[in-house]
């Protein structure tokens, strides 16, 4: 639910941006109450620094690694699957990690794809280091 959103993390390529959503204004009109959380025109709106965004992303990646381990599969193995099988697995991961797309579930799949590719790079580096 929109009222339950506490923060937003935008991931694009190597760029990460994080925003904390704090209720700024409550407007009552008749029986309707409107809560405004984000308005970039307001001077009190601030984007979190890059370190905060990186820390948030690292937590998501850590949760993803934990879920992959629980399922007994590596990022490389997931990425090697066919498109249909990968899509079904992404749905399972999204449910387990409580990730939701604002407009399309395909956005979550793209996020998971990028996260798994990042984890695959880490797996590859670890394999090279052990050889």
The set of residues, in sequence order, having a beta carbon less than 8 Å from that of 109 and lying 6+ positions away, is: 87, 90, 94
What is the predicted pLDDT for the residue at 57?
86
Task: List, for residues 1-42, the tens digit of each pLDDT value.
Answer: 556 666 777 777 677 888 776 656 677 788 888 776 665 665
Question: pTM of the full predicted structure?
Answer: 0.68
pLDDT greater than 80 at residue 124: no
Task: List, for residues 81-111, the tens digit of each pLDDT value.
Answer: 999 999 999 999 999 998 887 778 888 898 8
Phi, psi of 64 (to 5 degrees): -65, -45
Domain ranges, residue 13? 2-130
Q: How confident is the model at residue 112 (pLDDT cuts 50, 70, 90)?
A: very high
Q: How confident is the model at residue 131 (pLDDT cuts 50, 70, 90)?
A: low
pLDDT greater than 80 at residue 45: no
* Cβ neighbours around 91 below 10 Å, total: 14
Provide the greatest CA pair distance for the chain.
69
Q: What are the Cα distances from residue 98, in Å, to 25, 27, 94?
A: 27, 30, 6
What is the predicted pLDDT for the residue at 31?
82
For the chain, what is the domain count?
Answer: 1
């Amino acid at each position: 639910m929109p009222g339950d959103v506490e923060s937003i993390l935008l991931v694009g390529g190597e760029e990460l941006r994080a925003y904390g959503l704090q209720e700024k204004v409550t407007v009552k009109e008749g029986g309707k109450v409107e809560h405004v959380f984000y308005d970039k025109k307001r001077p009190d709106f601030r984007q979190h620094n890059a370190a905060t965004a990186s820390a948030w992303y690292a937590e998501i990646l850590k949760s993803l690694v934990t879920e992959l381990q629980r399922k007994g599969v590596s990022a490389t193995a997931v990425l090697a699957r066919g498109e249909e099988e990968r899509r079904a697995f992404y749905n399972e991961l999204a449910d387990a990690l409580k990730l939701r797309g604002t407009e399309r579930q395909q956005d979550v799949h793209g996020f998971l794809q990028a996260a798994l590719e990042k984890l695959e790079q880490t797996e590859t580096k670890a394999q090279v280091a052990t050889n």
